[in-house]
Amino acid sequence: MRNNPDGTEIELLCVIVNFGLGSKIMKFSKQSGMRGGTIFLGRGTVNNRILEFFDLSDIRKEIVLMLGEKTIVDNTLEELNKKFHFDKPNHGIAFSTSVLSVLGTKSIESNGINEEKRGAEKTMYNAIYVVVDKGKAESVIDAAKKAGARGGTIINARGSGIHETGKLFSMDIEPEKEIVLILADDQITSPITSSVREKLEIDKPGNGIIFVQSVNQTYGLR
Amino acid sequence: MNAITDKLKEVLFSVLPIVIIVLILNFTITPLETPTLIRFLIGALLIIMGLSIFLLGVDIGITPVGNLMGSSLAKSNKMWIVLTSGAILGFFISIAEPDLHILAGQVNSVTSGMISKFSIVIIVSIGIAIMLSLGLFRILFNVPLYKVLTGLYALIFVLALFTTPEFLAISFDASGATTGALTVPFILALAMGVSVLKKDSKASEKDSFGLVAIASAGAIIAVMVMSIVSKADRITSSLEINVSSSNSIIAPFIKALPTILYEVFLALLPLIVIFLVFQKISFKLDKKGFSKIIKGFIYAFLGLVYFLVGVNAGFMEVGTTIGYILASQDNKSYLIFVGFVIGLVTILAEPAVHVLTHQIEDVTSGSVKRKAVLAALSIGVGFSVALSMIRILIPGIQLWHYLLPGYVISVIMAYFVPKLFVGIAFDSGGVASGPMTATFILALAQGAAEKIEGANVLIDGFGVIAMVALTPLITLQILGLIYKIKSRKGGLDKDAKQS
């Protein structure tokens, strides 16, 4: 396992907030020492019976990804939480995951090995990623909710696996995909993955992929 | 925060400016009668409610259908399917557009029946059908938008040489009339549905726009060709514009309701039918997805009805009255200035503007900010109303004095501006000329024209929409240039959306 030499550990900070807040999060994080980040759009779900009846439970979200040293990430997370109150309902969520190596950024010096520090703090949450064909994200969330998940964020994406690629007329195409990001407690992670796996028949070729990342710190999950 | 409060907030901020401006005018230069003012406020309330519901409906109903349709057409990988479906879609959407029927009725009466209402509706719809196919063809075969637009506007220019000034105005107005509140979101979504499949993400981004622009050029060409062929080159009769003044507060709303119910239903019908047909043969959505889209259609229907009732019964009369009173002032510069301000705020409440700006954010992942586009649109429409007022005040200025240089500048700019903004700009022309401008700003211009001597209510009334559709082309392309320069200054940001 490769990591850094000088003991600096790199983490990925991920913040999911309502549309329009992304730039503010980024600006604020830079004040806390982060060097930059990437923002993209997603859709989140709201748990509300009435809204679900009217099919209005979708809400636009922004997802901010930022890389930084562990100490800075921890500090930023704390500051962000103070400022944006992730602990209150519907104020967004933030979490950090470990990153093995980073290339291409001058501000984070890292090109070597670091000891595996996993286990130093106990991971309680996991980030589950499900990549499926466009239109199937809703059923992924349904399946996950049945297994105990609180909700999820849907990100529009595109890409092609080995089972699909092609050219329509004179344009090269990549099929549309949806990525579903679900944060879940350690205990319910495997029920969720197996529920999704069963419902969407992930094991059949070309039906999508699931992977799970462990999360170091989370704010905003209840 | 949830979807509903989110939308309400957004809509509130876009309708409040116009309410505030009218209230200020009421207490300063143009006092309104109390019933009119109360009706205006009720209208504003209906507009806020209606617009919120309508936009929710567009989000979960109309846009998804457009996207799905675009993708599944492209995935068919058969030329004839794309071309014929494009033509059929274009024809039926346009033939059901209430604004087109109103325009056709007006043309019918001003030409003393030389051009029948029926033939206008059919011919414009054919024009739109051909252009929609052409627009889809362009996306699929990567033909640059600016080339297509140069060709189309060159053709329009040649046709314009043979068209009389009156018909010039009518034909440019037709482009605004056919791109209504339901058509624009659908066509926008259709283009996005096709181009989102593209592997090259820059091409996918810029080709999401431009289809509305091409479709509305179809309407212009169709009306011009018709006026040349039928030799109905002169306006032979004039149009009665009756400004009904009523003291009752509720009656106008109730009176407006049945027509609007019918018109909105008619406009929505082709979309529903097309959706049901495609659901059977191609989409095959599951039960949940299907019911969601049907709910979306219901919201869009209810929302649009509320909105249009509010505009027609609450806003129209205020527009005419303000225009009339301002034109009676000794100092005519009031008229120009107030026209500018009203243009500035009216466009914010235009339904399709919300749809366009959201699509821009979605397509560019939020890097082109909604507010920047709104500001550019606002300024553009502000200038267009001010220029229209000058045209009404000074009889010597003809519509083509504005249109010719305006379009020449826009087409030339299209060669320099980042291609994404070319698409956005030319689309926004059709987007800006929706139901809100068509009623409120048109009413303002007609009110002013009625008072000014030497101004013809009809001739000066026609052409206002054409102006509203023109100026955003320039202001949004200027915005594109600013973006280009700004992102260059970043230095590292080397692929500054330019391709």
What pLDDT, in 10s, does the model give residues A64-94? 988 888 888 888 888 888 888 887 777 888 8
- Residue with more model confidence, B20 or B240: B20
Distance CA B467, CA B127 (A): 21
Token code pair at residue B372: 């920047």
Q: Is A45 on the interface with B (CB under 8 A)?
A: no
pLDDT at B338: 92
- Beta partners for residue A16, in sequence order: A63, A93
Chain A residues touching residue B140 (CB < 8 angstroms)? 168-171
From the options 3.30.70.120, 1.10.1660.10, 1.20.1730.10, 3.30.70.260, give the CATH code of A125-219.
3.30.70.120
pLDDT tens digits, B257-283: 888 898 889 889 989 998 999 888 887
- Highest mean pLDDT: which range of A2-6, A159-163, B164-168, B478-482: B478-482
pLDDT tens digits, B422-477: 999 999 988 888 888 878 888 888 888 888 877 666 667 778 888 898 999 999 99
- Residue with more model confidence, A3 or B419: B419
pLDDT for B406 beyond 90: yes
pLDDT at B238: 55
Bridge-based pairing state of the strands A10-18 and A93-98 = antiparallel
Q: What is the second-level CATH architecture of the domain A10-98?
A: 2-Layer Sandwich (3.30)
pLDDT at A2: 43
Share of residues in chain A with pLDDT > 90 (%): 0
pLDDT at B409: 94
Give the gap in angstroms from C-alpha A63 to the nearest C-alpha of chain B: 10
For residue B288, give the H/E element and its range.
helix B287-310
Label residue B74 by pLDDT band (50, 70, 90): confident
Please tell me which residue of chain B has the smallest CA distance to A21. B366
For residue B4, give the H/E element and its range.
helix B3-27
Q: Is A157 on the interface with B (CB under 8 A)?
A: no
B387-405 mean pLDDT: 87
On whether the CB atoms of residues B63 and B93 are closer than 8 A, the answer is: no
Contacts of B319 (CB under 8 A, 6+ apart): B439, B440, B441, B442, B443, B444, B447
Give the gap in angstroms from C-alpha B208 to the nearest C-alpha of chain A: 14
Task: Report the range of poorest mean pLDDT among A2-11, A181-190, B216-225.
Answer: A2-11
Residue with tokens 């009173």: B325
Residues forming CATH 3.30.70.120 domain(s) in chain A: 10-98, 125-219
pLDDT tens digits, B46-65: 999 999 999 999 988 899 89
Chain A residues touching residue B197 (CB < 8 angstroms)? 158, 168, 171, 173-176
Name residue B181's amino acid: A
Label residue A202 by pLDDT band (50, 70, 90): confident
Chain A residues touching residue B291 (CB < 8 angstroms)? 55
pLDDT at B497: 42
Collapse the DSSP code of A14 into the 3-class scheme (helix H, G, I; strand E, B; otherwise coil) and give the result: strand
Contacts of B51 (CB under 8 A, 6+ apart): B11, B14, B15, B303, B307, B349, B351, B354
- Residue with more model confidence, B468 or A104: B468
Distance CA B372, CA A118 (A): 46
Q: Are B60 and A58 in contact (CB < 8 Å)?
A: yes
Q: Is B292 on the interface with A (CB under 8 A)?
A: yes
